[in-house]
Structure 1
Amino acid sequence: MPDAQKRQTVVVIGGPTASGKSGLALAVAQAANGTVINADSMQVYNGLARLSAQPPAADTAAAPHRLYGVLPPSEICSAVRWRDMALDEIARAQGEGRLPVIAGGTGFYIRTLTDGISPMPEVSPHLRVQLAAEIAAEGNENFHKRLAAQDPVMAARLHPGNTQRLIRAMEVLMHTGKSLAEWQALPPAGTPAHLRFIKVALLPPRDVLYTRCNARFLQMMDDGVLEEVESFPPPQKDAAWPLHKALGYPELRAYLDGKLSRSDAIIAAQQSTRHYAKRQVTWFRNQMAADIVLETPDAAAILAAL
């Protein structure tokens, strides 16, 4: 492996939603001639830029931003696919003499980049569409029972309500004849030896984080997020897209469909956001193995480690 001093530095900023990651990444990028690279599984799609809290035009004008809104909402962006795109953007930034600054809240994306991932088979999109239609027709509970009969290990790991992961487990089993658990147990593919990752966890105190979550959703409402959701294609019976699970989407869709009042939708969306932020804090605290842990955005602490 190359000497640590000769490896090319990549800053990786992870943390919960509404913690200030994007602003911190921008501050580092501006100070160190950097490029901000998205590591959020919702922000990678176009169609719901406000709801997914993609950086505003002022930020993207202040420093290059990559992998925001680059995929159509009907596609699936697996961790492996994101990693490949991120490595391309890292190389692009370095080729331009810029510091790559990864920023996002999808821990699995980040871990796939920094720690590698067990090799996974590529599965036909047609099989995925077929299974999506099947689970919609028979219901999650029955689909889960069918998976349990063929792959009890994965079925025991998955909640019947987790549609996307149920489909993933079944498609891998059908395509390869092996359980996804067997694939996940394989040694992870190595990370690029020429890269040196500085991992930063931004973890505000809980009361501060929850206040930010609540305030940001209200700001989104003021900024027209409801109109954005209204114009976005609603989920079809056999074809829900990843963005249909974006924070706030189910609640605002329910309001637009007359199932919730506006105030109840806002309260429910804020609660969902806080719950998700809490899970993210737990993940980043226990799984990231951060080099730097911050309670407040502190670009100077990161710049000092470069």
Structure 2
Amino acid sequence: MRNLTKKFGDFTAVNNVSFDIREGEIFGFLGPNGSGKTTVIRMLIGLITPTSGSGKVLGYDIVKESEKIRLNVGYMSQKFSLYEELTVEENLDFYAGVYLVPKDVLRQRKKEILEMADLVGREDYITSTLSGGWKQRLALGCAIIHNPRFLFLDEPTGGVDPVARRQFWDLIYRLSEKGVTIMVTTHYMDEAEHCNTIGFIHYGNLLALDTPGNLKRQKMRGHIVEIKCDRLMDSLELLKTVPFVIDAAVYGAGLHTVVEDAGRYLGDIRRLLEGAGINVHSAKHVKPSLEDVFVFLVEEKSRDKVSTEIK
């Protein structure tokens, strides 16, 4: 992708985004709902036309050769694009027809997919009766029935339980090991740890692009202090007023506070909160998570925007 932009009237959904995805890697595209992830995918597979910029998928131009792209990639949308009234096997047969799978290889492909998705013995189940996890696996099977070299997964684990999420990622790993290139969008930061490369997008702008390890090592300014305490929101508001606190946010059942030097300010944070009558259970220096990095980048972008507007 080079300088890819999509506008809907006066609204810019994707703003001048550029990146490469290497063959065989798992590329994670992260961002909150409405950040532009799905719009990027829909441009890459030719479902919508970019306002400006360019891109190629498997060597095919996203504007001029979109039909060739759609026949050679797999796409699993946010909502499982299955026909609920059809059986498992009928859904596979339908998508095999859409992707022009030759009849002489279809039987073998269905056998491989049913085994991969652990759906053997469920071929005659009506799709609407399947659990979320089974539907998820079936939707993936339909997306790869034609053995694509590139697979687009748009928030594929939304709405399924943690066990189903883990099982689904096991399937993604297996496909990647076979050489399939995978672009997966998610807003689950723990899933991003499984990706080779991560792109952070926020309100259509690409904030960062690197490996999970490099993002955590290079994109954070300062140290993270993890705090477990009572009156979480009162503590958060108090910490945000302190000059040496770069940023603070709720993290799980506690707080993550960004400071320039954890060794120097750890004691000051505890004394500050306890002085306000807040019971502090623990305060310690921890390594940043991808969620910390993303929050920091978003806040930094907001600060830069405010600074520019003031100027």
TM over 0.5, shorter chain = no
Query: TM-score, with normalisation over the residues of structure 1?
Result: 0.29
* Structure with greater helix share of residues: 1
Higher relative contact order (CA 8 A, sep 6+): 1
